């Protein structure tokens, strides 16, 4: 196992470094100290061919100019907050709007677009990086000084574990995730329509036209949102279900886990033989099938097009602070925000 670092670019006066974590089983994960962005995940297919399975750019400036949160950590709060506002203990906080009237993925300068302090580490079983960021009281409108640490840890079982921790000195809200777009075909050979997703979820959150949850939880049975026994992502892309159409032909929805505690989401693609198992302690996974990726730019040499990647954003429920029925995302000064999501890659196919 080893860690390699390279200069990737400059941001303001700071160096942007790309660290590559390499294990002994042929897997590597590359990431930046800017936004904790995962630029590449190299894993073998069924024949042992090692290829990249996430969307990323070769040039740092593309991350500044073009990126729809490729590979980054998003925070302080993932997803949309309606009217960019929330109330805590009778005080109304006004956040920076960055998508019409909504506040999306932490605002104009979210955790995806700041430099994090980094500390590489290696132990008997893994190589990794620790990231630290101090978000000052009032940043993007949020209350409290928030100290966040994130750990990326790669072991020899082809498992990448992301551990999130945050502490505040004032009551605030926190909901962190990673926004990697996966494509298991390898080097973007195909889009993700033939990927099969499987998870234990019986309900999903209905979205309004602004893509913010209405508060209504919909029964997934007999809909394109039923992934219990495995389902091709294409079924939601081609569906006339009003929620798939509203999302831009596909999915952009929080799928609620049936059971509390640890849950696993399986993503696989038959042709490459690759499977990704995502295990998390979070309440939901926001499934986004890259419905708006199309544009006059390239992603790792491939012309950007819709459905070229799929995000599995494990997190608390979006807009929870404005929805009394959703589990709380409030963090108090005497508490530690703690969340863990593991990504394990295999090269055999499960599901249907």
Catalytic residues: 179, 313
State yes or no: residue 70 binds ligand FUC (CB under 6 A). no
Q: Which residues pair with 38 in a beta bridge?
A: 31
Nearer to ligand FUC, 112 or 148 (CB): 112
How many residues form the binding site for ligand FUC (CB under 6 A)? Answer: 9
Nearer to ligand FUC, 105 or 203 (CB): 105
Cβ at position 286, least distance to ligand FUC in Å: 6
Cβ at position 79, least distance to ligand FUC in Å: 6
CA-to-CA distance for 279 and 264, rounded, in angstroms?
4
Cβ at position 295, least distance to ligand FUC in Å: 12
3-state secondary structure of 184: coil
- CA 351 to chain centroid: 22
Q: What is the dihedral of CA 125, 19, 179, 41, to 10 degrees?
A: -70
User: Site for ligand FUC (CB under 6 A): which residue of 9, 26, 68, 141?
Assistant: 68
**Angular region, 224: left φ>0, alpha ψ -120 to 50, beta rest:** alpha
Do the beta carbons of residue 316 and residue 177 sit within 8 Å? Answer: no
Q: What string marks each residue from 159 to 188 as x (binds ligand FUC by CB under 6 A) or -?
A: ------------------------------
Burial classification of residue 222, based on how many CB atoms lie within 10 Å of its CB (0-12 exposed, 13-18 middle, 19 or more buried): exposed
Nearer to ligand FUC, 211 or 234 (CB): 211
Q: Which of 133, 148, 138, 152 is nearest to 107 (CA)?
A: 138
Task: Considering only the C-alpha atoms of the chain, give the largest distance between any 2 of them, rounded to a whole number of Å.
Answer: 59
Q: Which of residues 241-300 bind ligand FUC (CB under 6 A)?
A: 252, 286, 288, 292
Q: Which of residues 189-218 bind ligand FUC (CB under 6 A)?
A: 211
Q: Which of residues 300-319 bind ligand FUC (CB under 6 A)?
A: 311, 313
3-state secondary structure of 244: helix
Nearer to ligand FUC, 28 or 280 (CB): 280
Contact positions vs ligand FUC (CB under 6 A): 68-69, 211, 252, 286, 288, 292, 311, 313
């Amino acid at each position: 196992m080893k860690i390699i670092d390279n200069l990737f670019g400059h941001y303001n006066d700071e160096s942007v470094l790309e660290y590559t974590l390499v294990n002994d089983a042929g897997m590597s994960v590359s990431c930046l100290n800017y936004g904790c962005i995962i630029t590449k995940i190299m894993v073998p297919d069924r024949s042992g061919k090692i290829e990249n399975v996430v969307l990323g750019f070769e040039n740092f400036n593309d991350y500044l100019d073009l990126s729809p949160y490729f590979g980054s950590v998003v925070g302080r709060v993932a997803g949309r907050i309606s009217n960019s506002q929330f109330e805590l203990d009778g005080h109304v906080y006004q956040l920076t709007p960055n998508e019409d009237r909504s506040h999306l993925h932490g605002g104009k300068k979210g955790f995806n677009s700041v430099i994090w302090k980094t500390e590489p580490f290696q132990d008997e079983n893994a190589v990794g990086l620790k990231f630290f960021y101090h978000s000052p009281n009032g940043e993007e409108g949020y209350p409290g000084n928030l100290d966040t640490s994130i750990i990326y840890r790669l072991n020899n079982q082809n498992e990448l574990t992301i551990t999130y921790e945050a502490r505040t000195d004032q009551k605030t809200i926190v909901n962190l995730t990673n926004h990697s777009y996966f494509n298991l075909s390898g080097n973007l050979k195909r889009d993700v329509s033939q990927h099969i997703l499987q998870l234990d979820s019986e309900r999903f959150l209905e979205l309004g036209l602004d893509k913010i949850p209405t508060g209504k939880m919909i029964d997934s049975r007999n809909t394109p949102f039923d992934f219990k026994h495995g389902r091709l992502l294409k079924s939601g892309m081609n569906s006339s279900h009003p929620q798939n159409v509203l999302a831009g032909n596909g999915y952009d929805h929080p799928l609620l886990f049936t059971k509390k505690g640890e849950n696993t989401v399986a993503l696989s693609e038959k042709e490459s033989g690759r499977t990704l198992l995502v295990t998390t302690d979070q309440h939901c996974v926001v499934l986004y099938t890259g419905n708006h990726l199309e544009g006059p730019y390239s992603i790792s040499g491939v012309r950007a097009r819709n459905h070229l990647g799929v995000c599995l954003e494990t997190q608390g429920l979006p807009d929870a602070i404005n929805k009394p029925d959703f589990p709380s995302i409030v963090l108090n000064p005497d508490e530690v925000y703690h969340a863990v999501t593991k990504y394990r890659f295999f090269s055999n196919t499960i599901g249907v």
